[in-house]
Structure 1
Amino acid sequence: MGAVTSALALVGVEVVGDYAVSSLTTAQWQTLAGLKPRLKPQVILYCHHYRGSPWPVVEDSLNQQHFHISPAAYSVLQRLDGNTTVARLADSWPGDDPQAELTQLLLGLYQANLLAGDFPVLAQNLVSRSQRGRWQRWLNPLAQRLPLINPDAWLKRCQPVTDKLFSAAGWWGWVALMAITVLVAAGHSYELKHHWHSRFLDPGNLLWLPLVYVVMKLFHEWAHGAMIRRFGGQCSEAGVMFLVFMPLPYVNAGAANSLPRSQRLWISAAGILAECAMAAVGLITWAMAGQGLLQDLAFNVLVVGFAASLLFNANPLMKFDGYYLLADAVQIPSLASRANQYLGYLWQRYGLGLASAHSPAELPGDKPWLAGYGIAAGAYRILILCWIVSFLAQRWLWAGLLVALWALAGQWLLPAAKGLWSQWHKCYAERREWRLLGVVAGSAAALYCLAFVMPLPHTSYAQGVVKLPDAAVFSAAPGFVDTILVADGQWVAAGAPIIQLRNTELQLQANKLRAELAEQRQLRQASLVRQPAQAQAAAMAMELVTAKLADLEQQLASLTLTAPRAGRLALPAAQNLPGRWVEEGDVLAHVFDGQQLQAQVLINQQDLAAISASAGTVRVKSALQPNHTFAAHISNLSPKAIDQLPSPVLGSAGGGYIPVDANDSQGLTTLQSWFVAELDLPASMMAPVVPNRLHVQFVHQNQPVGVQLWRHLRRWWLAHSDMG
Structure 2
Amino acid sequence: MGAAAIGMTTGPAAVTPVDPMDSVRLPPLREELHLLPAPPAVDGSPCWTIHDPVRNRYFRIGHGAFEVIARWHHGSPRAIAATVAAETVLQPEAEDVVTLYKFLAANNLTQGADVDFLAKQTAARRTSWWMWLLHNYLFFRIPLVRPDAFLDATVRYVAPFYSRGWLWTVIGAGVLGLILAMRQWDSFAHTFLHFFTLEGMALYGLTLLVTKTLHELGHAYTAKRFGCRVPTMGAAFLVMWPVLYTDTSDAWRLVSRRARLHIAAAGMLTELALAAFATLAWSFLPDGPLRSAAFLVATVSWVTTLTINLSPFMRFDGYYLLADALDVPNLQDRAFALARWRLREWLFGLGEEVPERFDPWMHRVLLAYAFATWVYRLVLFIGIALLVYHFFIKVLGIVLFAVEVGWFILRPLCNEVAAWWERRGSLRPNRNLLMTLGGLTALVWLAFVPVTGTIAVPSVWRAEGFSTLFAPAPSRIVEVLVQPGQRVAAGDLLFRLEAPELTSRLQQSELRIALAQDRIDRMLAARDGLDRVRVMEEDLAAGLADRQGLLDSLARLEIRAPIAGKVVDVADSLRPGRWVGPSLALGQIVADGGGELVGYVAENDLIRVAVGAGAVFHADDPLRPRMEARVTAVDRVSVKGLDIPALASTHGGPIAVESQAGPSMGRTNAEAARANLKPMEAVYRVTLAPLDRTQAGPAHQMRGVARVDGEARSLADRFWRTALAVLIRETGF
Q: Into which bin does the TM-score normalised by the smaller protein fall? A: 0.5 to 0.7
Change (3 A) 1:53 1:83: closer
Residue 167 of structure 2: aligned partner: 168
**Which residues of structure 1 form unaligned runs of 5+?**
1-18, 478-489, 497-562, 571-584
- AA of the residue aligned to 2:79: R
Show the counterpart of 2:38: 46
Q: Aligned pair in 2 of structure 1 residues 296, 258: CA closer, same or farther (>3 Å)? A: closer
Tell me the equivalent position of 2:102. Answer: 107
- Residue 235 of structure 1: aligned partner: 230
2:264 is aligned to: 268
Q: Radius of gyration: which is bigger? A: 2
Correspondence list, 1:286-325, <5 A: 306-307=303-304, 309-310=306-307, 312-325=308-321
Out of 87, 91, 94, the position equivalent to 2:82 is 91
Aligned equivalent of 2:50, options 28, 49, 58? 58
Does residue 151 of structure 2 align to residue 151 of structure 1?
Answer: no
% identity of equivalent residues: 20
Structure 1 match to 2:358: 362
Deviations 1:46-74 (A, max 9, x none): 22454866554434355442333333113
Q: Which residue of 1 aligns with 2:412?
A: 411
> Retained in 2: the 8 A contact 1:645–1:669?
yes
Cα distance in structure 1, aligned partners of 2:706 and 2:268? 39
In structure 2, the residue matched to 1:379 is 375
Moved more, 362-371 or 47-56: 47-56
Retained in 2: the 8 A contact 1:229–1:235? yes
- Return the letter of the residue paired with 1:60: D
Shift of 1:642: 5.8
Measured after TM superposition, the shift of residue 112 of structure 1 is 1.9
Q: Distance in 1 between matches of 2:470 and 2:213?
A: 56
Aligned to 1:33: 25
1:41 shift after superposition? 3.4
Paired with 1:271 and 1:129, the residues of 2 have a C-alpha distance of: 39
Unaligned 5+ segments in structure 2 are 9-17, 475-483, 487-493, 497-558, 562-566, 572-580, 665-671
Q: Give, in whole Å, the separation in 1 of the partners of 2:230 and 2:101.
A: 29
Aligned match of 1:519 = none
Partners of 1:704 and 1:104 lie apart in 2 by 51
Distance 1:683 1:472 in 2: 21
Q: 1:407 to 1:332 in 2, by over 3 A?
A: closer
CA deviation map 1:254-312 (0-9, x unaligned): 233344333433443445556677789699979999799996997799557545643x4
| Other structure's SS at 1:412 match | helix
The aligned residue for residue 448 of structure 1 is 444
Report the more deviating stretch, 163-172 or 59-68.
163-172
C-alpha change, 1:186 and 1:452, in structure 2 (3 Å) is farther
2:59 alignment counterpart: 67
Contact preservation (8 Å) 2:151, 2:221: yes
Q: Please tell me whether the aligned partners of residues 657 and 677 of structure 2 are also in contact (alpha carbons under 8 angstroms).
A: no
User: 1:89: Cα distance to partner?
Assistant: 2.1
CA deviations over 1:131-163 (Å, ceiling 9, x no partner): 259986754353233434323345554773586
Q: Deviations over 1:84-112 (max 9, x none)?
A: 76543222567998333322312222332
Name the amino acid aligned to 1:400: F
Structure 1: which amino acid aligns with 2:114?
A: P
Letter in 1 for 2:313: L
- Correspondence for 1:224: 219
Give the drift of 1:360: 1.4
Q: Sort the Cα spacing of 1:451 and 1:586 in 2 relative to 1 into closer, same or farther, 3 A.
A: farther
Give the direction of change, closer, same or farther, for the CA distance of 1:99–1:663 in structure 2 (3 Å limit): farther
Q: 1:179 to 1:285 in 2, by over 3 A?
A: closer
- 1:326 and 1:131 map into 2 onto residues whose CA distance is 31
* Aligned equivalents of 1:258, 1:462: Cα separation in 2: 64
Q: Structure 2 CA distance, aligned partners of 1:669 and 1:233?
A: 62
Q: Could you tell me how far apart the structure 2 residues matched to 1:179 and 1:630 are? A: 56
The reply on whether 1:717 has 2:727 as its aligned counterpart is: yes
The SS at the match of 1:44 is strand
SS of corresponding position for 1:33: coil
Conservation of the 8 A alpha-carbon contact between 1:233 and 1:256: yes
Matches of 1:721 and 1:286, distance apart in 2? 53
CA distance in 1, matches of 2:427, 2:35: 42
Matched length: 587
Deviations 1:631-663 (CA, angstroms, capped at 9, x unpaired): 899998766556667779978999997556799
Q: Any idea what the Cα deviations from partners look like across 1:235-255, whole Å, max 9, x if unmatched?
A: 222333332233333222323
Counterpart of 1:164, as a letter, is F
The answer to whether 1:118 aligns with 2:118 is: no
CA distance in 2, matches of 1:189, 1:695: 43
Distance 1:636 1:707, change over 3 A: same
Match of 1:398 in 2: 399
Instruction: State how far apart, in whole Å, the 1-side matches of 2:281 and 2:418 are.
Output: 54
The one-letter code matched in structure 2 to 1:149 is V
Aligned to 1:388: 384
Tell me by how many angstroms 1:364 deviates. 3.5
How far did 1:405 drift?
3.5
Q: How far off is 1:609 after superposition?
A: 6.6
Question: How far apart are the structure 2 equivalents of 1:664 and 1:296?
Answer: 39
- Rounded to whole Å, the distance in 1 between the matches of 2:187 and 2:485 is 38
Whether 1:329 and 2:329 are equivalent positions in the alignment is no
In structure 2, do the counterparts of structure 1 residues 235 and 335 end up closer, same or farther at CA, with 3 Å as the change threshold? Answer: same
Preserved contact between residue 316 and residue 324 of structure 1 (Cα < 8 Å): yes
User: 2:258 aligned with 1:248, yes or no?
Assistant: no
Measured after TM superposition, the shift of residue 719 of structure 1 is 4.3
Residues 215 and 164 from structure 1, CA distance in 2 versus in 1: closer, same or farther, beyond 3 angstroms?
Answer: closer
Counterpart CA distance in 1 for 2:274 and 2:303 is 9
- Contact residue 31 and residue 121 of structure 1 kept, 8 A: no
Task: Report the AA paired with residue 242 of structure 2.
Answer: P
Report the secondary structure of 1:318's partner residue: coil
SS of the equivalent of 1:722 reads coil
The aligned amino acid for 1:73 is A
Distance 1:640 1:126, change over 3 A: closer
Task: Indicate the SS of the match to 1:67.
Answer: strand
Letter of the 2:117 counterpart:
A
2:386 touches 2:401 (CA, 8 Å); kept in 1? Answer: yes
User: For residues 563-578 of structure 1, what are the structure 2 equivalents within 5 Å?
Assistant: 567-568=568-569
Quote how far apart the aligned CAs of 1:336 are: 1.9
* Within-5 A mapping of 1:429-444: 432=426
Contact 1:276 / 1:309 at 8 angstroms: preserved in 2? no
Mapped to 2, the partners of 1:232 and 1:316 lie a distance apart of 26
Secondary structure of the structure 1 residue equivalent to 2:360: coil
Partner of 2:125: 131
Q: Distance in 1 between matches of 2:97 and 2:201?
A: 57
Q: CA RMSD in A?
A: 6.6
Retained in 1: the 8 A contact 2:146–2:231?
yes
Distance of 2:602 and 2:76 partners within structure 1: 73
Counterparts of 2:677 and 2:30, CA distance in 1 = 73
Q: Indicate how the Cα distance of structure 1 residues 50 and 128 shifts in structure 2: closer, same or farther if over 3 A, else same.
A: farther
TM-score (norm 2): 0.58
CA distance in 2, matches of 1:403, 1:703: 30
Task: Please give the alpha-carbon distance, in whole angstroms, between the structure 2 residues aligned to 1:333 and 1:645.
Answer: 58
Shift of 1:119: 4.4
Distance in 2, matches of 1:210 and 1:109, equals: 46
